[in-house]
Structure 1
Amino acid sequence: MAGWADNFSYDYYARLVEAASRFLTPRLFREVPSLRADGGHLLLRHDIDCSLEAALALGRLEHDMGVRATYFVMMQSLLYDPEQGDALRELRDLGHEVGIHFDCPPEQRGDDRAGLEARVRMDCHRLQAVLGEAVTSISFHRPVESFLRGPLFIAGRVNAYAAELMTWYISDSRGSWRCGEPLDELTQARHGTLQLLTHPIWWGREHLAPADRLQLFFRQSTRHMSRRERAVFDAILTATMPGVRRNGLYAPPPSLLRQQPPLPREADRPGLAQRL
């Protein structure tokens, strides 16, 4: 069933946060173990699937609003380099939490919990080296079934998909809200903790449809790449965001194309094509 996808502008996101904050207190995932069980909490969560620049833009907006959120970063991403950590350290300095957005490899999506947790710890240690602080929370890019509405802790880190954090959960997955118009959901105060998940890639100064947003991102990121580099990048983008295909017919105006710098060329990212 299609969801609501009429407004993915920063102005609308600010309205969502303001509406939820009227009766809920924004919290970070690292604070979950010490929160009161009777609720009244707002967990603002951002999964960084594609773009650190998009995440930082949203983080600055939230900082200007006086709220903190948790940003989950992929340490194995081929679309951005998390160890070029200026954006992540700025998110930290703005008061946000930075955790791991873990994309479990196919060979470990079964019952090998020890092996999976070992990989999670490796990613956490890499991110800790970038941030200079402990990493205490994790979300899954493609949730492992046994951890979906599962335990509160995985590898000693707070699991964003824990059962107690999913009782009131709304998400803009694939660039649409399955709950319908989210302001309607947020203006009806409910008991408990709300987890509001957004993906920074879908948001911008003005609204764009998901397929057009991915096309804009593709054009911004590849405008200095060779044809082969663009093909590799396109394949990686498709694999990372399998639910939405970029609209190759959409031609973003030059003003939008100039809003963020291109990602590094393949020549500056050793092994990019080989790791596809």
Structure 2
Amino acid sequence: MRIRHSRGERTFDIVNVLLMLLACAAIILPVLHVAAGSLSSTNALIHMRVKLWPVEWNFDNYKLVINNSIFWRSFRNTLFVVIVGTAINMLLTILTAYPLSKRGFRGRKLFLLLIVFTIIFQAPIVPVYIIVKSFLLINTLWALIIPAALNAFNLLICMTFFRSLPEEMFEAARVDGMDEMRILWKIAVPLSLPIMVTLILFYAVGNWNNYYLALLYVTKPALKTMQLYLYTMIAQFSMNETDGAAAAIAERSADISPQGLQMATVLVATIPILLVYPFIQKHFVKGALIGSIKE
């Protein structure tokens, strides 16, 4: 039986579809323009003939990016921050969220109040910088990991998911002689796979795009991450500096433009995240929905 919708419901659906199409276009069109520019010739870019499709195909930009040792060094630094940082993020989140999910945990309300306080009121930049400097973390990759080791919002999501698990199952495990750590890693975490994948994605993307902390704590060229490398390249080209590494790379070929090299670098730096997301999309959507529901 076909369900009839009122005029108001049909209008609401049409407006929603149009808004979603506009949102998708606002996201996809700039990406297509960057991809087209990275594959277009210098002449086409200079004369602004590139829109959403490459003009006079040119792969020299990608050849230079792939053969650039500075790019791969920053890529390795970012990969280290993502892998190690995400592992520490998840470990601290799980170990903190599990006890806070138990209503009988002594001091639970105080800890939750302190966590919510950090969401509302963020620490100023200068005191945080002084603390990081006092621990001798300046110009180390650990300065990009330790200050952002635990995200309060992700912690609350994980805690909410743990609370949704049946307490009777944990009681049965305790009767069988399992301690809390074994219950956490043998029962709670495996049953929380959707929310775990969601949080891993949140943390990994955040660490991959971590530009602010890198700009604040890292000055050595050998420790620059991918986002800081992109910023340096764009800033050098924008100021027409020919003595920088990025400008030197562009001068190796007559058919290389600063804009094309920037676009190619941005796309290569974005590909890893784009390749990972489709494989975890199912768990991501499920975890985001379940983790956002409060009892």
Q: Which has the higher contact order (CA 8 A, sep 6+)?
A: 2
TM-score under structure 2 normalisation? 0.25
Higher CA-based Rg: 2
- Name whichever structure is richer in strand by fraction: 1
TM-score under structure 1 normalisation? 0.26
